[in-house]
Amino acid sequence: MLKNRYRSETNILFLIFKTFFKIALFVVGGGLAMIPVIEDTFVRKYKLLKSDDIVDMVAMTQTIPGLIAVNSAIFVGHRLCGWKGSVVATIGVLIPSICILCLIAAFFPLLSMENPHILAAFSYIRACVTGIFCCVAVRLGKKILSTHRDFLIVGLLILGMLYGINIILLIVLSVLMGLVSAYKQQKEATKTENRS
């Protein structure tokens, strides 16, 4: 059950700010790496969103231009508290990012990319991010892939990517396949209605 202290709009706005601030401060790997944290906080812990909302968020943030982290913050904030939530979430995700970028820019000339400690740290960070992406893929796959057709599309896309077919072309083909499928389903539903 939703905790009582998160029923008021002010408390939800504070939770949104705090969550996106922490995500921007600690989560490495970009916008997709945020998904497990957003899901754990807003779906599992506080039950403010449903799993379907996370799937919608991923679809929306991947299709509209802009930074995935900011798009995700805007989506979740708006879903929970309208425009106020969007503003608060965006501020929460931007403050740490801007501060970290300024620090990196200030100290970057002093860092040597030959330093074995820095190289080792980046190596482990890349491994961690790969693990996060795999986790996101499995979680989303469980929610999205339900029919043989879904698995077929995923398989074709993976083969296309492995053989170097342009990703934009693959996405456009997926959209077209979805439109054709929706048209067929609508046509079948119309036939069924006419019979009865």
Q: Where are the domains of the chain?
A: 4-144, 146-191
Q: In this model, does residue 173 exceed pLDDT 90? A: no
CA distance 183 to 177: 10
Query: Are the C-beta atoms of 12 and 81 separated by less than 8 Å?
Result: yes
Of 12, 58, 60, 65, give the one whose Cα is nearest residue 35. 58
Q: How confident is the model at residue 121 (pLDDT cuts 50, 70, 90)?
A: confident
0.75 exceeded by the pTM? no
CA distance 108 to 96: 17
pLDDT of 7 reads 67
Q: What is the pLDDT of residues 47-106, one digit of tens each?
A: 999 988 988 888 888 778 888 889 999 999 999 999 999 999 999 999 998 998 888 888
Tokens describing residue 112: 């040597």
pLDDT of 96 reads 92
Query: Are the C-beta atoms of 96 and 21 separated by less than 8 Å?
Result: yes
